[in-house]
Amino acid sequence: MINLHYIRAAILANTGRRLTLLRVKELLIEEKLVTPAQVSGAIFTGYGDYFGTDTAETQIDDNDTEMGLPDTFLSGS
C-alpha cells in the first residue's frame, strides 16, 4: 500500500506547498509513478473501518473476584 501521507509530507518539505491527498494521488498517476490500481482506495479516512470508535482510550475492567484461579490447590485428586 502506498503511503500518500508520507509522500505529501515529502512534497511539503521540498516545496513548501501542502497538497490534498487527492491531488497527490492525481500527480502520482499523471507522472506515471503509479498506476490507478495501485492507489485505488489508498486515502486513509480514519480507523472507523477497523474499530468501533475513532478515539484513543483505554478501558480497564475490574477483575471479577468470583472468577479466576482457585485460592487453594487440592493435591492428589
Does 36 reside within a domain?
yes
Q: Which residues contact 39 (CB under 8 A, 6 or more apart)?
A: 2, 4, 25, 28, 29
Q: Look up the pTM and report it.
A: 0.56
Domain count, the chain: 1
Does 74 reside within a domain?
no
Taking the C-alpha atoms of residue 39 and residue 7, their distance in angstroms, rounded to an integer, is 12
Does 32 reside within a domain?
yes
Q: Are 62 and 46 in contact (CB under 8 A)?
A: no
- Domain around 19: 4-44
Does 21 reside within a domain?
yes
24-66 pLDDT, tens digit each: 999 999 999 999 988 887 677 666 767 776 666 777 666 666 6
Does 54 reside within a domain?
no
Does 55 reside within a domain?
no
